[in-house]
Amino acid sequence: MANPSPESPPVVPHGPVAPRRGFISLLAVLAGGIAGLVPVAAGTLFFMDPILRKRKEAGGGLLRAGDISDLPTDGTPVRVVLKSDIVDAWTIYRDRVIGSIYLRLMPNGQVLAFNDTCTHLGCKVDYQPAEKQFFCPCHQSAFQLDGERKNLTPPRNMDSLEAEVKDGEIWVKYQNFQTATKEKKAI
Ligand code: FES
């Protein structure tokens, strides 16, 4: 029998060896993929954290506005400054002023709440005890104590807010609204 020539191609093994190598390669790829996903998932959670935290803190959106015992029983409006924690991306600013409102305790125990921003162009509305009205000094908008406008300068009544009393505490859903529009649109 003749010897194989030096240029003969190398002998390639066949049989069960080749499939086993393929399986090991597949395992290696899967393990690498999973290992690569862990930091990606951790990074995603880190960047989502403020959004998730904000959703958790939103709750019913009610802010404590004081005690019912703070309000005069004759319905005289009281201006209240509302504070809350503000979440800005990864920072929480504690106890920041977010707005101001008027509260009135009605004879039936109900509490009325109004945003004190003028619906005309956004100045702050004052309470005038002598006239028993709300009045905006910027362009003379005037409102009755139930928030109804007294002249046509403002496009709509004062913006009422949802309020409820729980165990003697007043809770208000604070919202701001677009000014200079007939419709009350939350912003
Ligand atoms: S902003 Fe109040 S009257 Fe114009």
Digit-coded pLDDT (tens) for 118-157: 999 999 999 999 999 999 999 999 999 999 999 999 999 9
Three-point CA angle 94, 99, 100, nearest 5°: 125
Q: 111-142: string of b/e by CB count within 10 Å (b at 16+)? A: bbbbbbbbbbeeeebebeeeeebbebeeeebb
In this structure, are residues 80 and 103 in contact, taking their beta carbons and an 8 Å threshold? yes
Element (H, E) at 31: helix 17-58
Do residue 40 and residue 80 come from a single domain?
A: no
CA-nearest residue for atom 3, ligand 1, is 139
CATH number at residue 127: 2.102.10.10
Do residue 45 and residue 131 come from a single domain?
A: no
Is residue 157 assigned to a domain?
yes
Residues enclosing ligand 1, CB less than 6 A? Answer: 118, 120-123, 136, 138-139, 141, 153
pLDDT (tens digit, 9 = 90+) per residue, 31-68? 776 776 766 666 665 555 555 554 444 446 899 999 99
* Model confidence, pTM: 0.68
CA-nearest residue for atom 4, ligand 1, is 139
